[in-house]
Amino acid sequence: MAKRGDGIGLEVSRHLVRGVRLSSDHAGRVVAVCEVPVARFDDNAVLFDALVRTRGRLGDHDAPTRVAWFPAGTTLQRVDVTGRTGPELNQLRHELADEHGVFSSMLVDVDARRWMLALRWDAGQSLRVQELAERAGFVDVSIEPAPISLERVQPRGATIARRDVSEDSSWAAAYDGRVPVAAAVIEQGDREHPSVTVTDVPLGVNRLESTLAADELSEEVGRLVGDELGHVPPGTELDVRLRVLDEPYPPFPAHDLRAPQRVAVALGAALGAAGLAGRLLPVDAVTSVRHLDGVVRRPWVIERLSDSSLEVPERRPSLLTRTRRRLRRRPRGASVDET
């Protein structure tokens, strides 16, 4: 039976799946890691096969699973929602959907603050990945943006992180404390992969406090990365400096599947699945009528049943019924008039 401290984390990209399994009974917590290539991500059978092989290599275990994912075209930006009620949060979700094209969001509680992470991504694809993982045998599967996963293991005080996942798959995020301020997919260029590069230079995030369009947000995140990380080489096992519950993660060599630049995101997702990273609510999706092609006719919603009146004429009681009623109302010994 799974218990707190047991968890599986998956980092899913178009070209591979990385997995980490944690166990509360193991001294170093990490008991298994793996990498499985994905030949054709858009093919359900191929992705399903990769997830099945991932589960086989991690071991048959009923630990909860969290999937870290940040596909092409995805952006993330935080909004302060401290003190807002449930109806107010729902109203904000619909405003983000109508005005900014943000149809997914999640809530993160940090100390006395509550943040909503406005998430632009393909909700249908995220549901597809989650369902295929469940069919592959993973238990209690949830999905989250990869910058959330990375924050759990990166050094304290990190302000910008760049993640080069695999071929043609890179993203970057700006952080303020334990919450990502913004994140977006960026061009990989000639960067090595897999790699994680982190800096702790002070940031001015005023530009990121107002909700930006997708292209503006991507441009701003790209500018921050270029200014602060453009001259920094990809992180190696010696300078990534991952942490697991405030304990340093071992610097395995780059060719080892346990190398920090390989497992960073999957490790963070596993910590979340194991219940070791605080309270985190699931991703909520807003369904918009703008996704519908034309008007969908639903004649069963309001349907005319009949033209006849629903009034039922009153039926006069029979003579026998009226006589019995009079007898019950008369006192004992009274005579009955024959009519």
Residues 172-219: pLDDT tens digits? 999 988 889 999 999 877 778 898 988 888 877 666 777 778 888 888
Q: Check: CB of residue 284 under 8 Å from CB of residue 93.
A: yes
Is pLDDT at 61 greater than 90 in this prediction? no
Is pLDDT at 284 greater than 90 in this prediction? no
Q: Which residues contact 112 (CB under 8 A, 6 or more apart)?
A: 82
Q: Model pTM?
A: 0.80
Q: Please tell me the predicted confidence (pLDDT) of residue 282.
A: 78
SS3 state at 237: coil
Is pLDDT at 41 greater than 70 in this prediction? yes
Give dist(CA 322, CA 339) in Å, integer.
12
Assign residue 101 a region (left: φ > 0; alpha: ψ between -120 and 50; beta: otherwise). Answer: left
SS3 state at 243: strand
Query: Per-residue b/e over 116-133, b at no fewer than 16 CB within 10 Å?
Result: bbbbbbbbeebeebbebb
User: How high is the mean pLDDT of the chain?
Assistant: 84
Is pLDDT at 125 greater than 90 in this prediction? yes
Alpha helices per DSSP H over the chain:
44-58, 86-100, 123-135, 146-151, 214-229, 260-273, 319-329
Residues 263-274: pLDDT tens digits? 999 999 999 999
Give dist(CA 263, CA 235) in Å, integer.
13
Q: Check: CB of residue 151 under 8 Å from CB of residue 271.
A: no
Q: Look-up: residue for tokens 């984390």?
A: 9
What one-character-per-residue DSSP string does 278-328 give? Answer: --BPPPEE---GGGSSSPPP-TTSS----SS----PPPPPPHHHHHHHHHH
Neighbours of 34 (CB within 10 A): 20
- Mind listing the domains of the chain with CATH numbers? 7-280 (3.30.420.40)
Residues 150-175: pLDDT tens digits? 999 998 888 889 999 988 889 999 99
Q: Please tell me the predicted confidence (pLDDT) of residue 295.
A: 39
